[in-house]
Amino acid sequence: MTTSKTRPSRNEVQDELKWDLTDVFESRDGWEKELKAVQESVSDVTDYKGRLDESGAVLLECLEAREKVLKRLNLVTMYASLRQAVDNTDPERQKDSQRASQAESKVNASLAFAEAEIMSLPDGKLDDFIQNEQGLEPFEKYLRDLQARKPYSLEEQTEEALAALGPLFSAPYTIYNRGKLSDMQFDPFKDDKGNEVPLSFGAYAGNYSSSPSAAVRRNAYEAFNRGLLRYRNTFAATYAAQVNHEVTTARLRGYESVTDMLLQQQYVTKEMYHNQLDVTQKELAPHMRKYAELKKRVLGLDKMTFADLKAPLDPDFEIEMDYEEAADTVEKALSVMGDDYSEMIKTAIAEGWVDYADNIGKSTGASASSLYGIHPYVIMTWPGTMRGAFTLAHELGHAGHFYFANKHQRFTNAKPPRYFIEAPSTMNEMLLGHHLLKDTDDKRKRRWLILQLLGTYYHNFVTHLLEGEYQRRVYELAEKGEPLTASVFTATTKDVLSDFWGDAVEIDEGAGLVWMRQPHYYMGLYPYTYSAGLTVSTIASQKIFEEGQPAVDRWLDVLKAGGTLHPLELIKKAGIDMSEPEPIRQAVAHVGSLIDELEESYS
C-alpha cells in the first residue's frame, strides 16, 4: 500500500506506466503554437457574422469553418487538461490549463454569434435551407436542437457576454478540484496495531475506506472527516456559487426551473429523470439493507456504520494481478464484441492510451477523455488486484464509445448524450464479470466476483444515485430561495442517506459530509445518469448473453451513432425503452438476485 511518503513524483515514474501524449502534440512547444494559432483562426468563422440568413450555402460554409476551429480547440484544451491531470502540483501545468481554459472561453465567445443567428432564423427559412442545401444534412440534428432552445435564448450580445464569462462560471469546479487535490491536508490516524498512518484524499477513497480492518476503516473515517470539516465552509460557498449560477441562468432564460434547463440540455424528460431516482431508491433500498445486514453478520461487527459499507465481505481472499495480466483478461472478456472492438482494445493497451502510474499530484479516480481525430486517453491508478481489471474495462468502455463515435460521425455529431454515457463503460464490467464467472467453479472465487459486480452496482446505483437525490433536494431548496450553507448541505445529505438505509446503517455526522467528496455536482445533472447508464447496460448485456450476435450488432450500432440521436431513441436501438420504469425494475431485481446468491453462499 503506497502512501504520500513513498509515492514518486511524476518525473520519477517509468515511461511504460504513462500515457503517450505525443500523438496529440509532439511537444509542449507544439501545443503553445497551436494555442495561439487556433485563437487567430476564429476570423475564419467570424467573417460570416451577420450573414447566416443569406442562404443555405453560406450557413454551411460557416458551420464547417466553426467545426474546424472547435476540433482544433478540443485538442488544445484536452492536451492541457491531460497534462495537469497527472500532476496537479506542477505550477506550469496549472498555468497551461488556465491558459487553455481562457482561450476556450475567448473562442466560444467569438463563435457565439453563430448559434444566436441560427436561433433567430424563422422556422420556415431554416427548413428551406436544409431542404435545398444537401451539405447541411449532417448538421440537421444540431440545427433542430438549436431551434428547440430558441424560446430560451437571449439577445446576441448577451449570449456573447455569457460565453465570455465561461471561466468565471466554471470557477467553482476549478476551486473545488484545486482545494481537493492540491491544498487539502489530513492528520494521520492509528491503525489496528497503534501505528500512525499518513492520510490523503486518494488514500482514504482508494484504500482505507475498504480496509479489511474495522479499526483502520473507522479510524481513517474519523480522521478523514476531521479534515473535511476544516474546509466545509469554503467548499459550501463554492458549491452554493455553482447552484446559484445555474438557478439564476435558468430564470434569466425563462425556464420553469433549473431542473427543466439541465434536463433540456440532456434531452431527457422529467418523467425519465424522476423514474430513475424514485424507482431505484424505492425498490433497491430493501436489497441494500439486506446486503448491509449480511456484512454486519458475516464480519461480526458490533454495528454497521457508514464507515463499514465498503468493507470487504471476504477480507482474506484477494486476487493479486498486475496490469499486463489484467489487460489480457479484459481483452479476452471483450472479444465477444467482435474484431474491430478487440483491435481497438489491443491498440489502446499497446500504444500508450492508458496512464496507470501512481504518483504525487495525480488526479484521484479514473476517467476517459475523447480527443477527436486522435484517440481516447484513459487515466487510472493501478491497485495491484483484479479489481483494477474492472476499472480498466470500465474506462476502456468509455474509450471504445468515443473511438467508434468519433470514427463514424463528424465532430458536430460525435459527442454522445450524457444520459447514456455510463452505459458502454458499465457494459464492459458486465461482460468481464460474466466471462470470469463462467470460467470458474471455485465457490469462493465466484463469491468474490459477485462482490465485484455488486461493487459496480453500489458505485452507480447507490453512491451516485443518492448523489442524484441529494442534488434534486438541493435544487429544490435553491428554487425556494433557501440559504445554501455547509449545515444545510450536511443535513440534506444525512436525510438522503437515512431515508435509503433506514435502521440497517448508522448515519453519523461524518456521513453528512459526503457532499464534499465528489466533483460531479459541478457538472449539472450528472450523478443520476450513472444509474441510468447501468440500467441500460444491465438489460443490454443480458440480451447479449441470451441472443448473441444480433444483440452485439445492435450495441455496436448504438456506439457508432454517437450524438446523432437523443437518448430515448438511441437506447431504443439497443432494444430498451427507458420511457417506462420497467427496465429500472428489471435491473434492480438483478441486483437483488446477486445479493440473494451471495447470502446463500454464506448459509
Q: Is residue 66 part of a domain?
A: yes
Q: Is residue 504 part of a domain?
A: yes
Q: Is residue 124 part of a domain?
A: yes
423-467 pLDDT, tens digit each? 999 999 999 999 999 988 889 999 999 999 999 999 999 999 999
Q: Is residue 74 part of a domain?
A: yes
pTM listed for this prediction: 0.91
Same domain, 392 and 465: yes
For residue 4, what pLDDT band results from cuts at 50, 70 and 90?
A: very low
SS3 for 503-528 is: HHCECCCHHHHHHHCCCHHHCCCCHH
**What are the angstrom distances between the C-alpha of 4 and each of 1, 17, 92, 213, 529?**
10, 18, 22, 21, 33
In the numeric block, the cell 461482460 is attached to 431
Same domain, 454 and 584: yes
Same domain, 201 and 164: no
More confident residue, 202 or 192: 192
Mean pLDDT of the chain: 94
Average pLDDT over residues 42-48: 97
Angle between helices 387-408 and 443-457 (to 10 degrees): 50
**What are the angstrom distances between the C-alpha of 494 and each of 201, 244, 331, 500?**
21, 22, 41, 10
Same domain, 160 and 252: no
Contact in structure between 415 and 389 (CB atoms under 8 Å)? no
Contact in structure between 58 and 52 (CB atoms under 8 Å)? yes
Task: For 351-377, give one letter per residue: b (16+ CB within 10 A) or e.
Answer: ebbbbbbbbbbbbbebebbbbbebbbb
Same domain, 129 and 210: no
Q: What is the CATH number of the domain that holds 486?
A: 1.10.1370.20
Under DSSP, is residue 498 helix (H, G, I), strand (E, B) or coil? helix
- Domain-ending residue, one of 171, 189, 212: 171
Same domain, 261 and 403: yes
Contact in structure between 156 and 53 (CB atoms under 8 Å)? no
Q: Per DSSP, what are the bridge partners of residue 355?
A: 379
Q: Is residue 294 part of a domain?
A: yes
Q: What is the CATH number of the domain that holds 119?
A: 1.20.140.70
Q: Is residue 188 part of a domain?
A: no
Q: Per DSSP, what are the bridge partners of residue 377?
A: 369
For residue 603, what pLDDT band results from cuts at 50, 70 and 90?
A: confident
Number of H helices, E strands in the chain: 25, 5
Q: Is residue 276 part of a domain?
A: yes
Contact in structure between 371 and 399 (CB atoms under 8 Å)? no
126: CB partners within 8 A, 6+ apart: 118, 143, 147
Same domain, 201 and 166: no
Q: How far apart are CA 465 and CA 459, in angstroms?
A: 8
Same domain, 144 and 265: no
**Which amino acid is present at 359?**
N
Q: Is residue 368 part of a domain?
A: no
Write out the residue range of the structural domain in which residue 78 sits: 11-171
For residue 318, what pLDDT band results from cuts at 50, 70 and 90?
A: confident
Same domain, 432 and 579: yes
121-147 pLDDT, tens digit each? 988 999 999 999 999 999 999 999 999
When divided into structural domains, the chain yields a total of: 2
Same domain, 119 and 258: no
Q: Lowest mean pLDDT: which of 20-29, 114-123, 240-249?
A: 114-123
Average pLDDT over residues 396-410: 98
**What are the angstrom distances between the C-alpha of 230 and each of 234, 235, 331, 534, 542?**
9, 10, 44, 35, 46
- Domain-ending residue, one of 155, 171, 187: 171
- pLDDT number for residue 422: 95
503-534 pLDDT, tens digit each? 999 999 999 999 999 888 999 999 999 999 99
- pLDDT number for residue 183: 86
Contact in structure between 189 and 199 (CB atoms under 8 Å)? yes
DSSP state string for 27-42: SHHHHHHHHHHHHHTT
Same domain, 152 and 208: no
Contact in structure between 536 and 574 (CB atoms under 8 Å)? yes
DSSP 8-state symbol, 565: S
Q: Per DSSP, what are the bridge partners of residue 213?
A: none
Same domain, 125 and 244: no
Q: How far apart are CA 482 and CA 46, in angstroms?
A: 43
3: CB partners within 8 A, 6+ apart: 197, 198, 200, 203
pLDDT at 292 over 60: yes
